[in-house]
Amino acid sequence: MSDAFGYLAGLKVKEDDTAEMDLYGIELPNGEVPVLIGRHGGETNKPYANAIVKNSVQQQKIVRAGKMNVAMLQRNRDEDRLLYSKHVITGWRGVCDASGKEVPFSQESCHHFFQALPDDIFDSVREFFGNPANFRQGIDPEDAADKGKI
Protein backbone atom coordinates (compact mmCIF):
# COMPACT_ATOMS: atom_id res chain seq x y z
CA MET A 1 0.00 0.00 0.00
CA SER A 2 2.96 2.36 0.52
CA ASP A 3 3.39 2.82 -3.25
CA ALA A 4 -0.34 3.22 -3.88
CA PHE A 5 0.17 6.96 -4.08
CA GLY A 6 3.64 6.92 -5.59
CA TYR A 7 2.33 8.65 -8.69
CA LEU A 8 2.07 11.83 -6.58
CA ALA A 9 5.86 12.02 -6.21
CA GLY A 10 6.01 13.93 -9.49
CA LEU A 11 4.06 16.76 -7.87
CA LYS A 12 6.78 17.56 -5.36
CA VAL A 13 8.72 20.71 -6.16
CA LYS A 14 12.46 20.16 -6.13
CA GLU A 15 15.07 22.80 -5.35
CA ASP A 16 16.37 22.74 -8.94
CA ASP A 17 12.95 23.10 -10.61
CA THR A 18 12.51 26.35 -12.49
CA ALA A 19 9.59 28.20 -14.04
CA GLU A 20 9.26 31.11 -16.43
CA MET A 21 7.05 34.13 -15.88
CA ASP A 22 6.02 36.57 -18.59
CA LEU A 23 5.95 40.12 -17.22
CA TYR A 24 2.87 41.31 -19.10
CA GLY A 25 2.73 44.58 -17.17
CA ILE A 26 5.84 45.81 -18.98
CA GLU A 27 5.70 46.77 -22.64
CA LEU A 28 8.92 46.93 -24.61
CA PRO A 29 9.38 49.06 -27.75
CA ASN A 30 9.72 45.92 -29.89
CA GLY A 31 6.44 44.51 -28.55
CA GLU A 32 8.09 41.67 -26.68
CA VAL A 33 7.36 40.81 -23.08
CA PRO A 34 10.23 40.33 -20.59
CA VAL A 35 10.52 36.84 -19.08
CA LEU A 36 11.85 35.99 -15.62
CA ILE A 37 13.31 32.53 -14.97
CA GLY A 38 13.61 31.30 -11.43
CA ARG A 39 13.29 28.78 -8.66
CA HIS A 40 10.48 28.43 -6.14
CA GLY A 41 10.32 31.30 -3.64
CA GLY A 42 9.42 28.96 -0.81
CA GLU A 43 10.75 26.32 1.52
CA THR A 44 11.97 24.02 -1.27
CA ASN A 45 14.53 26.74 -2.04
CA LYS A 46 16.73 26.33 1.04
CA PRO A 47 18.88 29.50 0.68
CA TYR A 48 15.76 31.64 0.26
CA ALA A 49 13.85 29.89 3.05
CA ASN A 50 16.78 30.18 5.47
CA ALA A 51 17.08 33.92 4.77
CA ILE A 52 13.35 34.36 5.39
CA VAL A 53 13.54 32.46 8.69
CA LYS A 54 16.51 34.55 9.79
CA ASN A 55 14.63 37.77 9.01
CA SER A 56 11.41 36.59 10.63
CA VAL A 57 12.91 36.53 14.13
CA GLN A 58 13.09 40.34 14.22
CA GLN A 59 9.68 40.67 12.60
CA GLN A 60 8.07 38.40 15.19
CA LYS A 61 9.26 40.75 17.93
CA ILE A 62 7.61 43.67 16.15
CA VAL A 63 4.35 41.76 15.65
CA ARG A 64 4.25 40.61 19.30
CA ALA A 65 4.79 44.19 20.42
CA GLY A 66 1.76 45.22 18.31
CA LYS A 67 3.86 47.54 16.16
CA MET A 68 3.12 46.07 12.75
CA ASN A 69 2.27 48.74 10.19
CA VAL A 70 2.38 49.52 6.48
CA ALA A 71 6.06 50.46 6.70
CA MET A 72 6.80 46.90 7.88
CA LEU A 73 4.99 45.49 4.84
CA GLN A 74 7.13 47.71 2.61
CA ARG A 75 10.30 46.55 4.40
CA ASN A 76 9.27 42.92 3.79
CA ARG A 77 8.71 43.65 0.10
CA ASP A 78 12.05 45.46 -0.17
CA GLU A 79 13.81 42.58 1.57
CA ASP A 80 12.24 40.20 -0.95
CA ARG A 81 13.50 42.39 -3.80
CA LEU A 82 17.03 41.58 -2.58
CA LEU A 83 16.37 37.94 -1.66
CA TYR A 84 14.62 37.21 -4.96
CA SER A 85 17.56 38.62 -6.90
CA LYS A 86 19.97 36.46 -4.84
CA HIS A 87 18.08 33.19 -4.37
CA VAL A 88 15.02 32.96 -6.63
CA ILE A 89 15.57 34.51 -10.06
CA THR A 90 18.22 32.66 -12.07
CA GLY A 91 17.92 34.41 -15.42
CA TRP A 92 15.78 36.45 -17.77
CA ARG A 93 15.05 37.30 -21.38
CA GLY A 94 14.03 40.62 -22.82
CA VAL A 95 14.76 42.83 -19.81
CA CYS A 96 15.89 46.16 -21.21
CA ASP A 97 17.36 49.39 -19.86
CA ALA A 98 15.91 52.86 -20.46
CA SER A 99 17.56 53.04 -23.90
CA GLY A 100 15.93 49.78 -25.00
CA LYS A 101 19.15 47.77 -24.84
CA GLU A 102 18.81 44.27 -23.41
CA VAL A 103 20.51 43.92 -20.02
CA PRO A 104 22.51 40.75 -19.31
CA PHE A 105 21.28 38.96 -16.18
CA SER A 106 23.23 39.29 -12.94
CA GLN A 107 22.15 39.36 -9.31
CA GLU A 108 23.04 43.05 -9.14
CA SER A 109 21.11 44.02 -12.28
CA CYS A 110 18.19 41.89 -11.10
CA HIS A 111 18.12 43.71 -7.77
CA HIS A 112 18.19 47.10 -9.54
CA PHE A 113 15.39 45.93 -11.84
CA PHE A 114 13.28 44.80 -8.88
CA GLN A 115 13.89 48.11 -7.09
CA ALA A 116 12.58 49.93 -10.17
CA LEU A 117 9.47 47.74 -10.55
CA PRO A 118 6.23 49.16 -9.16
CA ASP A 119 5.11 47.34 -6.01
CA ASP A 120 2.10 45.69 -7.68
CA ILE A 121 4.22 44.19 -10.48
CA PHE A 122 6.85 42.96 -8.02
CA ASP A 123 4.04 41.48 -5.90
CA SER A 124 2.90 39.51 -8.96
CA VAL A 125 6.48 38.19 -9.28
CA ARG A 126 6.36 37.09 -5.63
CA GLU A 127 2.96 35.45 -6.17
CA PHE A 128 4.11 33.55 -9.24
CA PHE A 129 7.42 32.27 -7.88
CA GLY A 130 5.91 31.64 -4.45
CA ASN A 131 3.27 29.31 -5.90
CA PRO A 132 4.54 25.71 -5.99
CA ALA A 133 1.99 24.80 -8.68
CA ASN A 134 4.04 26.82 -11.19
CA PHE A 135 6.97 24.41 -10.71
CA ARG A 136 5.20 21.07 -10.83
CA GLN A 137 6.19 18.73 -13.57
CA GLY A 138 2.75 17.19 -13.03
CA ILE A 139 1.37 13.78 -13.72
CA ASP A 140 -0.41 12.39 -16.72
CA PRO A 141 -4.05 12.04 -15.58
CA GLU A 142 -4.76 9.36 -18.20
CA ASP A 143 -1.79 7.29 -17.01
CA ALA A 144 -2.90 7.62 -13.39
CA ALA A 145 -6.50 6.70 -14.29
CA ASP A 146 -5.32 3.65 -16.27
CA LYS A 147 -3.51 2.43 -13.14
CA GLY A 148 -6.60 3.04 -11.01
CA LYS A 149 -4.85 5.76 -9.02
CA ILE A 150 -7.48 8.46 -9.51
Please write the tens of the pLDDT for every residue from 11-35.
Answer: 888 888 999 999 998 877 777 899 9
CA 39 from chain centre, in angstroms, equals 6
pLDDT at 149: 47
pLDDT at 73: 76
CA angle (49 as vertex; 113, 14 as ends), nearest 5: 95
Mean pLDDT of 117-131: 95
**H helices, E strands: number in the chain:** 5, 3
One-letter amino acid at 57 equals: V
Sign of CA dihedral 129, 53, 16, 114: positive
Choose between 47 and 58: higher pLDDT.
47
Mean pLDDT of 55-65: 67
